[in-house]
Each structure stands twice: as C-alpha cells, then as structure tokens.
Amino acid sequence: MLVVTGGMGFIGSNLVHALNARGRKDLLVVDDLTDGTKFRNVVSADLAGYLDKSRFLDLVRAGDGSLATIEAIFHQGACSSTTEWDGRMMMDTNYAYSRALLDFATARGIPFIYASSASVYGGGNVFREERRFEAPLNVYGYSKFLFDEHVRGLGKTSHQVVGLRYFNVYGPREAHKGPMASVAFQLHGQLRDTGRIKLFRGVDGYGDGEQRRDFVHVDDVVAANLWFLDHPSKSGVFNCGTGKSQSFNDVAHAVLRHHGRGEIEYVAFPETLRGRYQSFTEADVTRLREAGCDVPFRRVEEGVASYLRWLDSGAP
C-alpha cells in the first residue's frame, strides 16, 4: 500500500492519478476534507481508501497494525498559504505533523518522500540547498525550512528520506486553491471573465510584469516524485524546478496566445506584499541532476498551453 497525504489536493491528486496510470490502485489517500470540493480531484481515480488527516495521525502515533502494509509515504499534505500568519496552526500542520509521520516511517524503514518549498529561500537570489541561502519571508516558508533542517540533522538514514523543494507549480486540479492557485490559472480566469490580464508594475528593480519565477508544470513535479520512488537509495533535500526562471509576462503571453485575444494591464504593487514577496526564483538543479534524476522540465510556453487545453476539455 502507498500513502499519499494531501491526496485530494493539487499535487497530491495528480500524484494519485499518475500512480493509477502505473497500475497502482492500492492507494490510501489522507486529507482534510473541510473543503469538500476537493473530492472532484480524485473522482475518476481508483483508491483503496481514505482517512481524515486527524484519524491517520492518531493511527500513526498508536503504531496501529492497519498501517503495517505501507510501502512508501508521499507526504504532500500541508497548509500552503503564504499569506497565513497563524504561526501556531502552521507549525502544527506543517512541522509537527510531518515529524510524526517521519518518526513512524523511520521506525519501520518506510521510504518517505515529502513536499518542501522554494519559499525557504526568501528574498535571496541564490536558490541552492545550503543553509546560508535560506531565509524565509513568511511563517509558511519557515515551517518548511525547519522541517528540512530536522531532516538534514538526521544525517544518513537506513531508509529513503527525500524532500522536494517545489518552485511555482501550476497545472490541472488546482482550482480549489482559490487565490493561492497558480499565476497561469489566475490569468486564464481574468482573461475569460474580463478580456484583460492584470500584472504588477515594476518592483525590486524589475520592469512591469518582468518579475521572474521558476514556473514548473505539476506533471513534471509528479515525475520527480516517482523517480525517487523508483530509486530508493537516493535521499536528501532537492530543488524541484525547471532551473530556468521566466517572467510573469511570459505566462501572460502564453495565456493570450491560447485565447487569441486580450491585453495586459499593469497595476500598482500592493504595499502589504513589500518585503514579503519573491520577485525572483530559479532552482539550482545541480544536486537533483547529480543524484541522477533525469526528469525533463517543460518551459512556460509548452506547459501553460498544455494546461489551458486541459482546462478547456473539462476533464476531472
């Protein structure tokens, strides 16, 4: 049995579908379905079962025998809101919960592949998996950073432990994220509803819409997760991005090309985001490639076009 926490969320549900495509149906999905709309992300998937996050945590802490057949844990569940400032909730959800699952996996030698985040790097311009480049700007980033530090403090373990620092992920099954959904999703909705796309004016030395991020398609993120599942001798904390930043303008033009209409409007940068916003991200994928992970990452022009075709298809 494979466990996918956050399995009805964005990346988790895409991972579930990819595992199904491999013929794996023995999947235990763990999630918090307070937002019941997330069920749509797995309505066409085959699952062995579902457990609420709290119930799963109770079973983990009790060492319940019903979990004895777990082969690997994909820990994708988290509070991923970069604007959430309830630090107590964030640390309980992203740090304490992760530690409990890792302790369980360690005691049983179960491979543990988890979601970290590029937010650990904060406002710097070097995105390499080293402590000197890590300075989160928000409590979400800090919760991810602290768990990465815990993992690195364990040193070499007898079982696989992999943290993947996701950069700006976009793609199918993210609609439930609302304002935290990707730039591509937001711009697609704006153009559909108003005929215009809004981007921020210049900030931090960048021109209008020229702030740059490492935008990575969710299918490529899932492929990286599966690569590590297939290579259980590989452990560590790795960046998971394309390695090539692109501008918000690039994303906007990909959306405009898909629709064949519309224009860009540049709006004032919000004062509330000053000092809390990453105007530039670009994964250093040296360690990922040195580990042997050869997953190709598509550029915005290809990835956004593919994503918008998926949205147009109405696929579940």
For residue 302, the model assigns a pLDDT of 98
Long-range contacts from 19-24, C-beta under 8 angstroms, 24+ separation? 19/226, 20/45, 20/46, 22/226
% residues pLDDT > 90 (the chain): 85
Is residue 194, in this structure, part of any structural domain at all? no
Which listed residue (177, 198, 234, 244) is catalytic?
A: 177
Q: Is residue 140 flagged as an active site residue?
A: yes
Is residue 252, in this structure, part of any structural domain at all? no
Out of 12-16, 44-48, 50-54, 273-277, pick the least confident: 273-277
Is residue 309, in this structure, part of any structural domain at all? no
For residue 83, the model assigns a pLDDT of 66
Please report, in angstroms and rounded to a whole number, the separation of the first and last CA atoms in the chain.
Answer: 24
Is residue 275, in this structure, part of any structural domain at all? no
Is residue 120, in this structure, part of any structural domain at all? yes
Domain region containing 19? 2-170+215-242+283-297
pLDDT at 73 over 80: yes
Task: Compute the average pLDDT of residues 262-282.
Answer: 88
Q: Is residue 177 flagged as an active site residue?
A: yes
For residue 82, the model assigns a pLDDT of 67
pLDDT at 283 over 80: yes
49-65 per-position pLDDT tens digit: 999 999 999 999 999 99
Structure tokens at 205: 């030395």
What is the CATH number for 145?
3.40.50.720
Q: Which of 72, 89, 117 minimizes the C-alpha distance to 32?
A: 89
pTM to 2 decimal places: 0.94
* Number of domains into which the chain is organized: 1
Which listed residue (95, 97, 140, 142) is catalytic?
A: 140
Q: Report how far residue 19's alpha carbon sits from residue 105's, in angstroms, rounded to the nearest whole number.
A: 20
